[in-house]
């Protein structure tokens, strides 16, 4: 009977965990997704490397802001050049804005000049919900130990205006510089801004 | 990608220009700058408003857009010497997008206003230029902007203009005045509990938070006002100060801007009018009455059909103890009561933990988990075999605790385990009083939850305490004798009946196959128990012991590894459907969905709403004896009442939410929506008779 009570309690504890959101400072939730070239990627494949997750929807004006200006591509190029793995995740459901076939995804990737390591297709939204990604662009940084070290906005200028990029503080660049220098992330969370993820 | 057209149009009133945002040939947003006066009067403040009219289905955002989106902005360019106040926002609506993304927005139209103060020496005409930017979203989002100009003549006096428009949105402006009700801020592990007390004339209460400087509150949700009270939880890490608009709705909406204190417990808001120290008196008084109800409810649990098998066992145990010393009897009674307390306080701890994790927890939620039913079934089965004498447990050191010793021996640990088992089986029966106490508890702080569960445990344990302390009151019970062995065996049958009920519930949750695999698991457990009883006694040879142990290990491995872990786990969950609901009885039940209910009510149809679950014996009893009867069926048909069934056998968040609207956390629960009273359903008692049902639906004799 005691065991039974213990069992019920641990069952309940399991439920509790399942409901918990990813926490900065905790291990990043594991996932496997297929990229636009048909290759599966498991988060654990990148153990030992710093990983950036970027929630992407090219139809969203907030995403457009960072791609039209070249801001996002520059970040991707700069940091993949320093060994960072950059994964763009598309959680748009089929038929919703931002959802694309793998071919169109690759075509758009070339057109936009994306330097992401891979674009992951999450059309059932599992990984988006796992990370509680609510907007595009929403950014996550996972350090080489697999710990989530940043979650939030790309920068501190909540707008769709490309003119705002110049004076903005880029939280992602700041956090990546700190992580790569082995320092703790000074601003580890921010409120992400953007369009809702089209689950 | 998208085009933005700015068109200047003169309106009839000459109030100002208009700009339309076009997308794929559809006009998405029409933006106009309007003034509340026909002329600027030097030195006299007036207002201008940005009037946004959105295409159907599209929305623009409030000053705190919520999880996604962007607030509308208005930048004014004023002539020299003019000053302006802040942008003032009418009450937003809450919109929820797929993926539980919650935003605060305006649909249809909105008017964002600014007060402008002209200098005393201002001369006209005055040209007010404004740049408005917004994000307009439906399934997709499109940014828009407009450069607007408004020209007003300067005159000695002005006549009001656009009065209807301003009046319409002024009615929706949140007030900075103290609200006409009490606000009680209590920090919780997950943020704040905003208690609203003494609300008159409102049906629902809601809270729209402003964005915080560092952290912003998470999702809030509207709550039903019950007895003038509503409690809204505001999730935010660490309970920092929170500001927002509390909105009461009763046909129309009214808002008040309120803010929390800094985090001291049960602090009354600074806006509360002449706050009496009511955080100590009034809620405390209601807490006491709730605790009394919880105590009575706990006492009544003893009489519930689902605990009766264990209760009868326990009474039998008391009878056996009657020959013991008084001190011994008291010790057993206290151990039994301790078991009750451990279970209820453990349950309270789990609920507090789950509440902290933000999931929806309700009474009897454990019976919605088929694994829980499965494990309880195994315990009940093994327990029954023990009563039948299939095996006895004789462990060295008689104090050892195990499931079996709990059944076979009335040691102190056995009494303790009995206490746990009795309460375990009692949970799905929400006795009428308990319903109210629990509804109260689930919206309160952890301390209160613990207090309420403590009171329930005390109520349930009370009769045993009395009987253990005064065993003399049991003197009239028959003397112990060989008949007790027969009685013990007989007690196995109610347990088997309980097992049947559990299997029925498992069948409803997971299908017939799951019942078979559960039964196969139990069969293996039974075989293991028999081997144990037959060959592991103190007189068996070492070889027999070894073989029997191996056999038990094999039976357990088969039971747990194959039947439970593989086959039972693989049986698919069944979702209650219209078909299963309709097949269970003769009433043509419509399965519950809030959308369907609202549709029926909008059509003016009367609706009888039955919240039920297969594991709820009271629900089934009511259905059989008071609802699915010939008279009620005929009355339903004659009066055109739509019977709707909310089947809560498996966890269903939509039903949980509906229950919460009425401050309920368990079933049974019955509502009757009379024609034209869609907002004010009749709440039926939890224990029904045919007469009560007929009277409630207006078909009975008075």
DSSP assignments along A4-58, one per residue: HHHHHHHHHHHHHHHHPPP-TTSBPPP-EEEETTS-EEEGGGGTTS-EEEEE--T
How many whole angstroms separate alpha carbon A23 and alpha carbon A132? 10
Residues of B in contact with A193 (CB under 8 A): 68, 70
Residues of A in contact with B653 (CB under 8 A): none
Residues of A in contact with B401 (CB under 8 A): 1-2
Q: Which residues of chain B have pLDDT under 70?
A: 1-18, 213-214, 261-287, 300-326, 351, 354-369, 392-412, 414, 421-445, 471-485, 487-488, 491, 537-539, 569-585, 615, 617, 699-702
Residues of A in contact with B404 (CB under 8 A): none
Residues of A in contact with B141 (CB under 8 A): 60-62, 195-196
- Supply the angle between the helices A2-19 and B370-388 in degrees, to the nearest 10: 180
What is the architecture of the domain spanning B578-696?
A: 3-Layer(aba) Sandwich (3.40)
Residues of B in contact with A93 (CB under 8 A): 98
Q: Are the beta carbons of B141 and A60 separated by less than 8 Å?
A: yes
Q: Which residues of B24-62 are buried (b: 16+ CB within 10 A; e: fewer)?
A: eeeebbbbbbbbbbbbbbbeeebbbbbbbbbbeebbbbb
Nearest Cα of chain B lies from the Cα of A147 at a distance, in angstroms, of: 20
Q: What backbone phi and psi angles, to 5 degrees, belong to B343?
A: -65, -50
The residue behind tokens 């029997």 is B548
Of B1, B358, B402, the CB nearest to A19: B358
Domains of chain A and CATH, by start: 22-196 (3.40.30.10)
CA separation, residue A103 to residues A68, A88, A91, B351, B622 (Å): 21, 15, 16, 48, 59
Residue B212 sits at the vertex; the CA angle it makes with B207 and B216, to the nearest 5 degrees, is 70
| CB B104 within 8 Å of CB B92 | yes
Q: Are the beta carbons of A134 and B67 separated by less than 8 Å?
A: yes
Strands B83-84 and B109-117: antiparallel
3-class DSSP assignment, residue B412? helix
- The single-letter DSSP state of residue B365 is G
| CB B146 within 8 Å of CB B132 | yes
- ipTM for the predicted complex comes to 0.70
Of B101, B343, B346, the CB nearest to A134: B101
Q: Would you mind telling me the total number of residues written for chain A in this entry?
A: 199
How many whole angstroms separate alpha carbon B500 and alpha carbon B506? 10
CA separation, residue B241 to residues A41, B104, B452 (Å): 42, 20, 29
| Beta-carbon pairs below 8 A across chains A and B | 109
Residue A185 pLDDT grade (very low, low, confident, very high; cuts 50, 70, 90): very high
- The residue in chain B having the minimum alpha-carbon distance to the alpha carbon of residue A15 is B354
Helix and strand counts by DSSP (H, E) for chain B: 19, 24
Residue A148 has pLDDT above 90, yes or no: yes
Higher pLDDT, B320 or A192: A192
| CB B219 within 8 Å of CB B236 | no
Contacts of B369 (CB under 8 A, 6+ apart): A11, B651
Q: Are the beta carbons of B99 and A134 separated by less than 8 Å?
A: yes
Helix (H) or strand (E) holding A110: helix A102-112
Residues of B in contact with A61 (CB under 8 A): 135, 141-143
Contacts of A145 (CB under 8 A, 6+ apart): none
Q: Are the beta carbons of A134 and B403 separated by less than 8 Å?
A: no
Q: Which of B237, B204, B195, B216 is nearest to B358 (CA)?
A: B237
For B39-92, strand residue ranges (E) read: 46-54, 59-66, 73-77, 83-84
CA separation, residue B216 to residues A129, B469, B582 (Å): 20, 55, 46
Of A7, A19, A196, the CB nearest to B359: A19
Instruction: For residue range B59-93, list pLDDT tens digits in order.
Output: 999 999 988 888 999 999 999 889 888 899 999 99
Residue A158 has pLDDT above 60, yes or no: yes
Q: Are the beta carbons of B141 and A158 separated by less than 8 Å?
A: no
| CB B257 within 8 Å of CB B247 | no
Residue A83 has pLDDT above 90, yes or no: yes
What's the gap between Cα A180 and its chain centre?
A: 18
Of B137, B211, B424, the CB nearest to A195: B137
Nearest Cα of chain B lies from the Cα of A181 at a distance, in angstroms, of: 26
Return the pLDDT at B420: 73
3-class DSSP assignment, residue B322? coil
Q: Is the peptide bond before B668 cis (omega within 30 degrees of 0)?
A: yes
So where are chain B's domains? 18-170, 182-276, 286-369+396-485, 578-696
Contacts of B471 (CB under 8 A, 6+ apart): B318, B321, B322, B326, B329
3-class DSSP string for B368-386: HCHHHHHHHHHHHHHHHHH
Residues of B in contact with A125 (CB under 8 A): 99
Q: Are the beta carbons of A1 and B406 separated by less than 8 Å?
A: yes
- The residue in chain A having the minimum alpha-carbon distance to the alpha carbon of residue B351 is A12
Q: Is the pTM of this model over 0.80?
A: no
Taking residue B500's Cβ as centre, other Cβ atoms within 10 Å add up to 12
| Residues of chain A with a CB closer than 8 angstroms to some CB in chain B | 1-5, 7-9, 11-13, 15-16, 19-20, 59-62, 64, 93, 96-97, 125, 128-129, 134-135, 158-161, 191, 193-199
Nearest Cα of chain B lies from the Cα of A2 at a distance, in angstroms, of: 7
Helix (H) or strand (E) holding B147: strand B141-152
Interface mutation target, options B24, B101, B144, chain A, most CBs of A under 10 Å: B101
Let me know if the fold of B18-170 is the same as that of B578-696.
Answer: no
3-class DSSP assignment, residue B702? coil
Q: Are the beta carbons of A5 and B346 separated by less than 8 Å?
A: yes
Q: Are the beta carbons of A16 and B354 separated by less than 8 Å?
A: yes
| CB A117 within 8 Å of CB A85 | yes
Fold for the domain defined by B182-276: Immunoglobulin-like (2.60.40)
Residues of B in contact with A135 (CB under 8 A): 67-68, 101
Residues of B in contact with A4 (CB under 8 A): 375-376, 379, 403, 420, 424
Return the pLDDT at A151: 93
Instruction: For residue range A50-72, list pLDDT tens digits in order.
Output: 999 999 999 899 999 999 999 99
Q: Which of B461, B427, B432 is nearest to B293 (CA)?
A: B432
Q: What backbone phi and psi angles, to 5 degrees, belong to B229?
A: -120, 150
Cβ contacts of A170-178, under 8 Å, gap ≥ 24: A170/A75, A171/A139, A172/A52, A172/A75, A172/A139, A172/A141, A173/A75, A173/A78, A173/A79, A175/A141, A175/A149, A175/A150, A176/A50, A176/A52, A176/A79, A176/A82, A176/A84, A176/A141
Q: Which of B321, B354, B435, B327 is nearest to B664 (CA)?
A: B435
Q: What is the CATH number of domain B18-170?
A: 2.60.40.1250
Residues of A in contact with B402 (CB under 8 A): 1
| CB B466 within 8 Å of CB B697 | no
Q: Are the beta carbons of B403 and A1 separated by less than 8 Å?
A: yes
3-class DSSP string for B628-653: CCHHHHHHHHHHCCEEEEEECCCCCH
Strands A85-90 and A51-55: parallel
Q: Are the beta carbons of B354 and A12 separated by less than 8 Å?
A: yes
CA separation, residue B349 to residues B152, B236, B431, B695 (Å): 66, 21, 22, 41
| CB B266 within 8 Å of CB B194 | no
Nearest Cα of chain B lies from the Cα of A9 at a distance, in angstroms, of: 7
Residues of B in contact with A3 (CB under 8 A): 403
Q: Are the beta carbons of A3 and B137 separated by less than 8 Å?
A: no
Cβ contacts of B484-492, under 8 Å, gap ≥ 24: B484/B316, B484/B319, B484/B320, B485/B389, B487/B316, B488/B316, B488/B387, B488/B389, B489/B387, B489/B388, B489/B389, B491/B309, B491/B312, B491/B313, B491/B316, B491/B387, B492/B384, B492/B385, B492/B387, B492/B388
Q: Which of B148, B152, B164 is nearest to B32 (CA)?
A: B148
Nearest Cα of chain B lies from the Cα of A100 at a distance, in angstroms, of: 15
Q: Are the beta carbons of A16 and B366 separated by less than 8 Å?
A: no
- Token representation of residue B181: 């009700």
Nearest Cα of chain B lies from the Cα of A40 at a distance, in angstroms, of: 24
Nearest Cα of chain A lies from the Cα of B438 at a distance, in angstroms, of: 19
Of A8, A20, A161, the CB nearest to B366: A8
Q: Which of B90, B1, B20 is nearest to B49 (CA)?
A: B90
- The residue in chain B having the minimum alpha-carbon distance to the alpha carbon of residue A95 is B139
């Amino acid at each position: 009977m005691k065991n039974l009570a213990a069992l019920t309690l641990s069952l309940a504890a399991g439920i509790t965990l399942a409901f918990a959101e990813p926490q900065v400072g905790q291990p990043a939730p594991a996932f496997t997704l297929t990229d636009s070239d048909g290759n599966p990627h498991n988060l654990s494949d990148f153990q030992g490397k710093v990983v950036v997750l970027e929630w992407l929807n090219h139809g969203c004006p907030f995403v457009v802001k960072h791609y039209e200006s070249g801001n996002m591509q520059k970040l991707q190029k700069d940091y993949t050049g320093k060994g960072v793995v950059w994964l763009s995740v598309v959680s748009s459901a089929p038929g919703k804005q931002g959802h694309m076939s793998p071919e169109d995804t690759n075509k758009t990737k070339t057109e936009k000049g994306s330097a992401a390591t891979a674009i992951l297709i999450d059309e059932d939204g599992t990984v988006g919900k796992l990370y509680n990604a609510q907007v595009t662009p929403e950014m996550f940084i996972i350090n080489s130990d697999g710990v989530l070290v940043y979650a939030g906005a790309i920068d501190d200028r909540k707008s769709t205006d490309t003119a705002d990029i110049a004076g903005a503080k880029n939280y992602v660049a700041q956090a990546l510089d700190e992580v790569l220098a082995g320092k703790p992330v000074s601003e580890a969370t921010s409120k992400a801004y953007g369009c809702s993820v089209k689950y | 990608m998208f085009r933005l057209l700015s068109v200047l149009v003169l309106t009839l009133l000459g109030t100002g220009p208009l700009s339309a945002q076009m997308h794929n040939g559809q006009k998405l947003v029409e933006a106009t700058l309007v003034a509340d006066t026909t002329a600027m009067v030097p030195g006299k403040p007036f207002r201008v408003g940005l009037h946004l009219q959105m295409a159907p289905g599209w929305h623009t955002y409030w000053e705190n857009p919520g999880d996604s989106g962007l607030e509308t902005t208005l930048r004014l360019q004023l002539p020299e010497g003019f000053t302006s106040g802040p942008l003032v926002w009418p009450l937003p609506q809450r919109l929820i997008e797929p993926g539980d993304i919650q935003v605060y927005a305006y649909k249809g139209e909105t008017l964002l206003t600014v007060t402008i103060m002209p200098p005393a020496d201002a001369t006209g005409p005055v040209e007010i230029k404004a740049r408005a930017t917004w994000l307009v979203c439906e399934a997709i989002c499109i940014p828009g902007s407009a450069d607007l100009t408004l020209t007003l003549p300067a005159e000695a006096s002005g006549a009001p203009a656009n009065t209807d428009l301003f009046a319409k949105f002024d009615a929706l402006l949140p007030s900075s005045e103290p609200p006409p009700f009490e606000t009680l801020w209590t920090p919780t592990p997950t943020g704040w509990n905003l208690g609203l007390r003494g609300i008159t004339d409102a049906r629902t209460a809601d809270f729209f938070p402003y964005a915080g400087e560092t952290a912003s509150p998470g999702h809030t949700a509207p709550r039903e006002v019950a007895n003038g009270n509503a409690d809204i939880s505001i999730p935010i890490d660490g309970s920092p100060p929170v500001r927002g608009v509390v909105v009461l709705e009763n046909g129309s909406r009214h808002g008040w801007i309120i803010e929390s204190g800094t985090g001291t417990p049960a602090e009354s808001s600074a806006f509360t009018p002449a706050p009496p120290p009511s955080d100590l008196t009034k809620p405390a008084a209601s807490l006491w009455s709730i605790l009394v109800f919880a105590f009575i409810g706990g006492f009544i649990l003893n009489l519930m059909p689902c605990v009766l098998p264990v209760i009868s066992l326990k009474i039998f145990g008391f009878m056996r103890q009657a020959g013991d010393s008084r001190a011994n009897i008291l010790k057993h009674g206290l151990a039994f009561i301790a078991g009750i307390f451990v279970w209820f306080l453990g349950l309270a701890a789990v609920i507090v933990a789950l509440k902290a994790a933000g999931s929806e927890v309700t009474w009897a939620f454990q019976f919605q988990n088929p694994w829980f039913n499965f494990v309880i079934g195994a315990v009940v089965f093994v327990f029954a075999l023990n009563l039948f004498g299939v095996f006895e447990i004789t462990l060295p050191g008689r104090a050892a605790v195990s499931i079996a010793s709990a059944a076979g021996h009335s040691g102190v640990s056995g009494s303790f385990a009995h206490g746990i088992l009795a309460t375990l089986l009692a949970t799905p029966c929400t006795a009428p009083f308990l319903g109210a106490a629990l509804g109260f508890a689930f919206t309160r702080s952890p301390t209160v939850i613990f207090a309420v569960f403590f009171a329930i445990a005390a109520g349930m344990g009370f009769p045993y305490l009395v009987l253990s302390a005064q065993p003399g009151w049991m003197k009239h019970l028959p003397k112990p004798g060989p008949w007790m062995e027969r009685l013990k065996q007989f007690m196995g049958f109610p347990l088997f009946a309980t097992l049947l009920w559990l299997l029925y519930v498992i069948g409803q949750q997971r299908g017939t196959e799951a019942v078979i695999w559960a039964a196969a698991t139990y069969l293996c457990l039974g075989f293991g128990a028999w081997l144990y009883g037959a060959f592991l006694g103190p007189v068996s040879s070492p070889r027999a012991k070894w073989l029997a142990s191996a056999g038990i290990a094999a039976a357990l491995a088969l039971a747990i590894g194959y039947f439970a872990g593989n086959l039972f786990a693989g049986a698919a969950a069944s979702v209650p459907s219209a078909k299963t609901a309709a097949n269970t009885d003769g009433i043509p039940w419509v399965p519950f969905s809030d959308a369907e209910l609202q549709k029926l009510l909008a059509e003016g149809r009367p609706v009888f709403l039955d919240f039920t679950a297969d594991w709820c014996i009271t629900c089934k009893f009511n259905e059989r004896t008071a609802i699915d009867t010939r008279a009620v069926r005929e009355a339903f048909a004659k009066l055109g009442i739509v019977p709707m069934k909310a089947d809560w056998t498996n966890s269903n968040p939509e039903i949980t939410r509906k229950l919460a609207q009425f401050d309920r956390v368990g079933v049974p629960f019955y509502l009757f929506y009379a024609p034209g009273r869609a907002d004010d359903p009749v709440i039926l008692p939890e224990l029904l008779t045919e007469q009560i049902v007929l009277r409630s639906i207006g078909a009975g004799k008075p």
